[in-house]
Amino acid sequence: MTLVLDHVGRKVGAETFIEGVSLTLERGSLNVLLGATLAGKTSLMRLMAGLDAPTSGRVLVDGKDVTGWPVQRRSVAMVYQQFINYPSLSVYENIASPLRVARLAASEIEARVRDAAKLLKLEPYLDRKPLNLSGGQQQRTAIARALVKRADLVLLDEPLANLDYKLREELREELPRVFAASGAIFVYATTEPQEALLLGGNTATLFQGRLIQFGVTPQVYRQPQDLTSARVFSDPPLNTLIARKKGAAVSLSTGGGTRAAGVFAAVPDGEYTVGFRAHHLGFEPFGGDGVAIPATVSVAEITGSESFIHLDSGERRFVALVPGVKRLEPGSSVTAYLDPRHLFLFDGAGGLVASALLKVA
């Protein structure tokens, strides 16, 4: 199965939920929809499923226009953020429920339920009721019920958001294996860039109902095509400052400057927005090549394994993510350094013009 969204949009009254999205998803692929709350992730999934009809554009499955088809005519399964299980039924019967509705033979139901339970490590719990399970086991049950249908399209709308940290990490590690064993098209919505990186596959960055970029996840992360995509794929938020290149020198909006080497050597004179992620800002000069930024400490957040240092420099606020415990007093003066190997340069329209990874985009 190949799913194609051809310039689909959805408006309700004066409000636009999805605007001109074109996307092609192939069988056996894992596709992450990444964006903040209200970016359009759930709205886009509902258009894929047939729960909502687009007000513009088309939805194609294997070349056939299914735009007007309701969800009942499509081979779709969906898992939501909330644990949606039948409390009066056993885990076995919860998983089997869509197969019984489809009136499959008892032997086929048994085989499919056992296969799904094995894949999601639910075999010891098949006789239990959902309320006797942990949150992670309840969500596994919901995922197993979706997989057992053997749908061509499986949609997961922030399925781990309500789980505690340990359970999220456990399922994040297992889900790519589960997806690979299925062969369906998987679409997974999340607000968390780290989750997209852990899952792999492909990532679509969304902002205000628009598709900004789609591609292999590491490539989208390392080579955002514009400032918006870079911001969507950064947590903590992307740091930015203004750089002005003239000849062999670059002046920074934070004060001081640097020579026009590395990424700056690849672009003509002019003004650029420099983007850099929190873990590429530190307090050591990165082998002597770091770009210096004078700053004042605003807040130091120590988590144990790493520290988030909030810095003020001129009118800019930056966040540095450094390993270990870094104790800095609020109000103290420091010199922070940009890692010149991980800088993005954006033009006045926000388009990527150069990055330190590829020199010229």
In SS3 terms, 325-356 reads as CCCCCCCCEEEEEECCCCCEEECCCCEEEEEC
Q: How many whole angstroms separate alpha carbon 324 and alpha carbon 309?
A: 12
Cα atoms found within 13 Å of the Cα of residue 155, Cβ hemisphere only: 21
CA distance 326 to 318: 16
Contact, 86 vs 93, CB < 8 A?
A: yes
- pLDDT, tens only, 193-226: 999 999 999 999 999 999 999 999 999 999 999 9
Looking at the domain that runs over 2-226, which CATH code has it been given? 3.40.50.300
Q: Give the Cα-Cα-Cα angle 234, 237, 242 (nearest 5 degrees).
A: 105
The sheet with strand 153-157 has its strands ordered as: 76-79, 153-157, 185-190, 30-34, 202-207, 210-216
Give the tokens for residue 208. Answer: 């205000």
Q: Report the pLDDT value the prediction gives residue 360, as an integer from 0 to 100.
A: 35
314: left (phi over 0), alpha (psi -120 to 50) or beta: left
Task: Please report which confidence band the pLDDT of residue 357 belongs to, taking 50, 70 and 90 as the band edges.
Answer: low
CA distance linking residue 92 with residue 97, whole number of Å: 9
- Give the least confident one: 169-178, 197-206, 324-333: 169-178
Q: What is the rounded CA–CA span in Å between residue 92 and residue 127?
A: 6
Helix/strand number for the chain, H first, E second = 8, 21
The answer to whether 32 touches 188, Cβ cutoff 8 Å, is: yes
Which sequence spans correspond to the domains of the chain? 2-226, 239-355
The residue with tokens 């039948």 is 86
Burial class (CB in 10 A: 0-12, 13-18, 19+), 15: exposed
Same fold, 2-226 and 239-355: no
Measure the CA–CA gap between 171 and 175, rounded to whole angstroms: 6
Query: At the top level of CATH, which class does the domain 239-355 belong to?
Result: mainly beta
* H or E element, residue 230: helix 227-232
| Residue 9 in this model has a pLDDT that exceeds 60 | yes
What pLDDT is stored for residue 359 in this prediction? 40
Q: Is the pLDDT of residue 167 over 50?
A: yes
Pairing of strands 249-252, 316-323: unpaired
The pTM of this model reads 0.91
Residue from 143, 142, 218, 141 nearest 184 by CA: 143
Lowest-pLDDT range of 58-62, 109-113, 262-266: 262-266
Q: Which two tokens stand for residue 203?
A: 């990532």
CB 213 within 8 A of CB 233: no
Residue carrying structure tokens 């719990």:
125
- Identify residue 172 by its one-letter amino acid code: R
**Position 345: which residue type?**
L
Residue 36's Cβ-side half-sphere holds a number of Cα atoms within 13 Å equal to: 11
pLDDT of residue 281: 95
C-alpha count within 13 angstroms, C-beta hemisphere, residue 4: 12
The average pLDDT across 86-107 equals 95
